[in-house]
């Protein structure tokens, strides 16, 4: 999820349209603080707060190198750089820093009414998507808005009823799974209760609290804009929950509800781990929020962002898995996931077809925290009781997606009224007749900036009516697993644990509480995910942050020196062989029959002379086939389809190249594929590899 909400950096000045209001709302600057700066846009949460700094938007002075930089000539002697050279280098560095600030848009812009203009190429991108389709796009927009209006009314009327719940013990009961899965596919949200046993959940919480207390001096404090989201990736709660067999089974159960993609190399029955962060929030008896014993409260040195947020009526929700990438050809356009929407036929868009997502690139800009792994569900595991309001989700996986994708191409004829949203003027503002396709497409893509998650806001996306459409789940017991469609907007709150929402002591006073949530998206095994898993495995073994969160040199702290950090042995104790496989620590067993599967499919029918007509022989053959198709001895699954076989072989070769021979995957079963399968199914001795290689060279010399 999670997808840069964890880093604070000095950023650019406020846009002109926000300066006056934000300055008026901001608290007076203390005498010991000169000025304030804006925190970087978070990428995976929608909560924001403030940070302070001792500098304005001016660029900090580069480190002087005038007396340090030398070069070596051909004779090996050193010469001093001249002053012009040093001056040029300093200017280049300053220019780069200035450019970095320009490319770091202020989050406060999401609280205003004017979106951020993007580079000119995005204007060309929008014009290319619209060219020749103006009429059909306008007609599709006119059909969409009434449908979305009815959708919002439906959400408001039913609320939490749209979040189906099922007990983990019932996920194999077809009579209970059918209505649950139907509601999940309609509204994009589902809850599986009892995935983690209560005793295990409580044990993990206590173990994690001890882990954090023991390593307190090594811990990096959470960002001020999201004080309960920690940059921890390998705490006991995270490692144990990801490997737990119930969690993996729940993820497999959920992912198999997606449309069958036989022609794509995606194995939904094989969930793998994505190391995301953890949310920890404690409320003391006085009601103040504390994290790891330290009070987290608003300070008088709040930045302009916090001031803007405090005085804004904006609702902001977040959609993970990229932002601008959804419109770009090199992003989701690679496999044409949203083509039907941009062609004016949004009704035919299938939000549950994974084939268009397998080869998409959701992180073109390598944003800090931007996810580069395919995730079919976002998810959180509640290790403590969930109170209403902690998270809100927009239960509309299709229409809301279509809307925010088409929104950048349209503008209102009359601006939004200043009065309340219940007025007739507001209804007229939302009416399709008030909206027109822009003749000249601007560079604006509402709520999207490079390197950050997509935002939907009440100003940029008025038809979503976020105050009415964001739904909070009811109180859920510990061990619950909440999942939602990857295109759905969601919003976290850091202030849900109010005094009246917490248990009381024997004296009637509110008791101290701790909430702990582990991000646990459901990710299938694919070639791209296996490549990421190889990097993530190295991060786990070294105690480093997840690759997506440390790929931009952000300097996140390492958990390598932490006392009590779990190891591969602990994962095996919790999840066995499947837990190790999900972390890329053990290869997948393809079973004895996989190597000959394609040969059987492509072999010519046996002749009558060679075939047996004896019923006893047929029975023996069937019995043998059944034995071969049985699960491996380690208890892991046996692949059923050609796509699963190909994906597992690819993953084994990527993660364990020293143990599995290289091969090229095929789209359809063939004799070549079967021969490759036989080599990739089991490790090949190095001597045999050399023999085959020498034989191939001799054969090639014949031609």
* 377-412 confidence digits (pLDDT tens): 999 999 999 888 889 999 999 999 999 999 999 999
pLDDT of residue 634: 56
Paired sense of beta strands 523-526 and 454-457, if any? unpaired
pLDDT of residue 437: 98
Q: Cβ distance 18 to 109 under 8 Å?
A: yes
**Segment among 321-330, 418-427, 633-642, 662-671 with least mean pLDDT:** 662-671
Instruction: Describe the crossing of helices 245-255 and 236-243 by its angle, rounded to 10 degrees.
Output: 60
pLDDT of residue 317: 94
pLDDT of residue 308: 53
Taking only the tens place, the pLDDT of each residue in 554-591 is: 567 789 889 999 999 999 999 999 999 999 999 999 87
pLDDT of residue 35: 37
pLDDT of residue 219: 65
Residue 693 binned pLDDT confidence (cut-offs 50, 70, 90): very low
419 CB burial (10 A radius; 0-12, 13-18, 19+):
exposed
pLDDT of residue 556: 72
User: Span 535-539, mean pLDDT?
Assistant: 97
Taking only the tens place, the pLDDT of each residue in 154-172 is: 999 999 999 999 999 999 9
Q: Cβ distance 111 to 20 under 8 Å?
A: no
User: Span 215-238, mean pLDDT?
Assistant: 77
Mean pLDDT for all residues in the chain = 76
DSSP-derived secondary structure for 326-359: GTSTTTGGGTTTTHHHHTT-GGG--TT-GGGTTT
pLDDT of residue 254: 98
**The most confident of 262-271, 297-306, 616-625, 663-672, by mean pLDDT:** 262-271
The CATH fold of domain 121-578 = Jelly Rolls (2.60.120)
pLDDT of residue 91: 54
Look up tokens 């925190």; give the residue: 39
pLDDT of residue 102: 34
- What is the C-alpha separation between 82 and 68, in angstroms, rounded? 12
Ordered alpha helix ranges (H), 583-614: 597-602
pLDDT at residue 223 is higher than 70: no
Q: What is the percentage of the chain residues whose pLDDT exceeds 90?
A: 51
User: Tokens for 23?
Assistant: 């300055």
- DSSP summary character for residue 419: S
**Segment among 28-42, 421-435, 656-670 with least mean pLDDT:** 28-42
- Domains of the chain: which residue ranges? 121-578, 588-700
User: Span 298-322, mean pLDDT?
Assistant: 65
pLDDT of residue 105: 42
Taking only the tens place, the pLDDT of each residue in 460-515 is: 999 999 999 999 999 999 999 999 999 999 998 755 443 334 444 455 544 457 88
Q: What is the percentage of the chain residues whose pLDDT exceeds 70?
A: 62
User: Tokens for 463?
Assistant: 């038809």
CA angle 64, 67, 73 (to 5 degrees): 120
pLDDT at residue 86 is higher than 50: yes
Taking only the tens place, the pLDDT of each residue in 193-205 is: 999 999 999 999 9
228 sits in the region (left: phi over 0; alpha: psi -120 to 50; else beta) called alpha
User: Tokens for 457?
Assistant: 């806001």
pLDDT of residue 558: 85
Residue 662 binned pLDDT confidence (cut-offs 50, 70, 90): confident
User: Span 296-314, mean pLDDT?
Assistant: 51
User: Span 440-445, mean pLDDT?
Assistant: 96
User: Span 225-246, mean pLDDT?
Assistant: 89
Residue 80 binned pLDDT confidence (cut-offs 50, 70, 90): low
User: Span 424-435, mean pLDDT?
Assistant: 95
- What is the C-alpha separation between 548 and 275, in angstroms, rounded? 9
pLDDT at residue 342 is higher than 90: yes
Residue 419 binned pLDDT confidence (cut-offs 50, 70, 90): confident
Paired sense of beta strands 391-393 and 490-492, if any? antiparallel
pLDDT of residue 185: 97
Residue 229 binned pLDDT confidence (cut-offs 50, 70, 90): confident
Taking only the tens place, the pLDDT of each residue in 90-110 is: 555 554 444 333 334 445 566
Residue 531 binned pLDDT confidence (cut-offs 50, 70, 90): very high
**Segment among 62-76, 306-320, 349-363, 384-398 with least mean pLDDT:** 62-76
pLDDT of residue 451: 86
pLDDT of residue 216: 77
User: In a 3-state reduction of DSSP, which class is residue 170?
Assistant: helix
Question: At a CB cut-off of 8 Å and minimum separation 6, what does 598 contact?
Answer: 642, 669, 670, 671, 673, 674, 677
Paired sense of beta strands 513-519 and 378-382, if any? antiparallel
pLDDT of residue 387: 86
Residue 452 binned pLDDT confidence (cut-offs 50, 70, 90): confident
- What is the C-alpha separation between 385 and 478, in angstroms, rounded? 5
């Amino acid at each position: 999820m999670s997808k840069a909400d964890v880093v604070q950096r000095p950023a650019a000045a406020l846009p002109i349209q926000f300066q006056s209001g934000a300055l008026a709302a901001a608290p007076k600057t203390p005498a010991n603080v000169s000025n304030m700066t804006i925190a970087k846009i978070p990428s995976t949460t929608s909560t924001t707060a403030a940070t302070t700094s001792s500098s304005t938007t001016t660029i900090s002075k580069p480190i002087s190198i005038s007396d340090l930089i030398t070069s070596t000539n051909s004779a090996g002697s050193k010469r001093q750089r001249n002053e012009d050279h040093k001056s040029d280098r300093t200017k280049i560095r300053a220019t780069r820093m200035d450019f970095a600030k320009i490319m770091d848009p202020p989050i406060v812009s999401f609280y205003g009414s004017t979106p951020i203009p993007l580079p000119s190429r995005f204007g060309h991108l929008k014009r290319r998507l619209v060219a020749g389709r103006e009429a059909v796009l306008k007609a599709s927009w006119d059909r969409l808005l009434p449908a979305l209006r009815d959708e919002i009314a439906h959400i408001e009327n039913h609320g939490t009823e749209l979040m189906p719940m099922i007990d983990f013990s019932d996920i194999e009961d077809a009579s209970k799974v059918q209505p649950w899965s139907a509601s999940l596919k309609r509204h994009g949200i589902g809850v599986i209760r009892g995935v983690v046993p209560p005793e295990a959940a409580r044990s993990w919480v206590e173990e994690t609290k001890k882990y954090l207390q023991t390593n307190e001096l090594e811990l990096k404090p959470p960002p001020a804009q999201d004080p309960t989201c920690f940059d921890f990736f390998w705490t006991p709660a995270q490692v144990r929950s990801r490997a737990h067999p119930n969690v993996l089974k729940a993820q497999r159960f959920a992912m198999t509800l997606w449309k069958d993609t036989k022609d794509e190399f995606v194995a939904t029955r094989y969930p793998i781990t994505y190391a995301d962060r953890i949310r920890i929030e404690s409320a003391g008896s006085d009601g103040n929020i504390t994290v790891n014993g330290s009070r987290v409260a608003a300070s008088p040195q709040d930045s302009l962002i916090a001031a803007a947020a405090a005085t804004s009526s904006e609702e902001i929700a977040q959609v993970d898995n990229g932002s601008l990438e959804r419109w770009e050809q090199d992003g989701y356009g690679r496999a044409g996931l949203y083509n039907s929407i941009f062609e004016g036929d949004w009704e035919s868009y299938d939000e549950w077809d994974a084939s268009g997502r397998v080869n998409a690139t959701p992180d073109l800009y390598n944003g800090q925290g931007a996810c580069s792994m395919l995730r079919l569900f976002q998810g959180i595991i509640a290790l403590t009781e969930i109170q209403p309001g902690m998270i809100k989700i927009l239960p509309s996986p299709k229409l809301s997606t279509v809307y925010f994708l088409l929104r950048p191409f349209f503008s209102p004829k009359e601006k939004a009224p200043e009065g309340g949203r219940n007025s007739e003027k507001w209804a007229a503002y939302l009416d399709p007749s008030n909206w027109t396709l822009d003749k000249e497409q601007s560079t604006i893509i509402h709520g999207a900036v490079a390197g950050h998650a997509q935002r939907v806001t009440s100003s940029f996306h008025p038809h979503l009516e976020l105050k009415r459409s964001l739904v909070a789940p009811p109180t859920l017991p510990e061990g619950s697993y909440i999942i939602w469609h990857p295109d759905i907007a969601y919003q976290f709150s850091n202030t849900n644990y109010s005094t009246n929402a917490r248990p009381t002591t024997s004296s009637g006073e509110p008791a101290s509480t701790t909430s702990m949530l582990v991000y646990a998206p459901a990710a299938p095994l694919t070639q791209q995910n296996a490549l990421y898993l190889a990097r993530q495995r190295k991060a786990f073994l070294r105690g480093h942050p997840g690759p997506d969160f440390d790929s931009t040199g952000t300097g996140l702290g390492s958990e390598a020196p932490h006392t009590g950090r779990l190891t591969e042995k602990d994962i095996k104790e919790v999840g066995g062989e499947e837990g190790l496989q999900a972390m890329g620590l053990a290869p997948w067993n393809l079973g004895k029959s996989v190597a000959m599967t394609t040969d059987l499919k492509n072999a010519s029918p046996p002749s009558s002379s060679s075939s047996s007509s004896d019923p006893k022989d047929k029975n023996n053959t069937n019995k043998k086939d059944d034995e071969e198709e049985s699960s491996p001895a380690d208890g892991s699954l046996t692949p059923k389809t050609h796509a699963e076989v190909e994906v597992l072989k690819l993953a084994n070769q990527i993660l364990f190249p020293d143990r599995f021979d290289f091969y090229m995957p095929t789209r359809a079963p063939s004799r070549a594929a079967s021969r490759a399968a036989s080599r990739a199914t089991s490790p090949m001795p190095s001597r045999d590899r050399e023999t085959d290689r020498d034989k191939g060279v001799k054969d090639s010399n014949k031609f």
